[in-house]
Structure 1
C-alpha cells in the first residue's frame, strides 16, 4: 500500500479513537446528570438474545439520521417498543433465533 494511503489510514484511525473517547465521556456525563438514567450491568459484554429477525431489523433505527427528524424521540421509542412486543408475543419459538450482540451502551 502506498505511504500516503497508510498515512491517511493512520489519521482516520486516530480520529475514530478520539471520537469514541468523546462519545464515552458524553455518555458518562448523561448518566451523571440525568438521575432517571441508570447503567445496566451488561454494559461492555456480549449478550445472547432470542428474538425474531424482524425485531432485529427494527432495532436499528435509521430515521434519526435524517436531517428533518424530530428532537423528541419519545413517541418513536414508544412505537418501537410496542411494535417489538407485538411481534415477539405473536412469534413462535421456531421463529426466534439466537443472536449475540456486543453491548457498548445500555441504559
Structure 2
C-alpha cells in the first residue's frame, strides 16, 4: 500500500511505539493495531502521527490525502509531538517523494 509505505518511511525516525500511539490517539487501539499490522506492512513498529495533518504539513500530493480519506483512516496524536519532531521527518522528504513518484508511474 503506497500510503503505508510513504508514512512508514517518513515516520520511522520518530520511533513511536504502538503503545505510545494508542495512548495519545482518539482512535481505538484495535483499529490502530489492525492498520499497523495489516498485510501491506512488514514491520511491527510504525510511527504514524495524525496522517492527514502530517501529509498536508509535509506537502505530499493531494491524492495521498484523498486516499487516506477514501479509506477512512483517521489517526490523531498530540500535535505538539508533531511540531517537536517535524524537522526529523523532513530529512527524508526528497527520498520519499522520489519513491512516491516512482510507484505512481508504475501504477499507471
Do the structures match in fold with TM over 0.5?
Answer: no
Tell me the TM-score normalised to structure 2 length: 0.23
Task: Name the structure where strand makes up a greater proportion of residues.
Answer: 1
Tell me the TM-score normalised to structure 1 length: 0.23
Greater RCO (CA < 8 Å, at least 6 residues apart): 1
Whose radius of gyration is greater, 1 or 2? 1
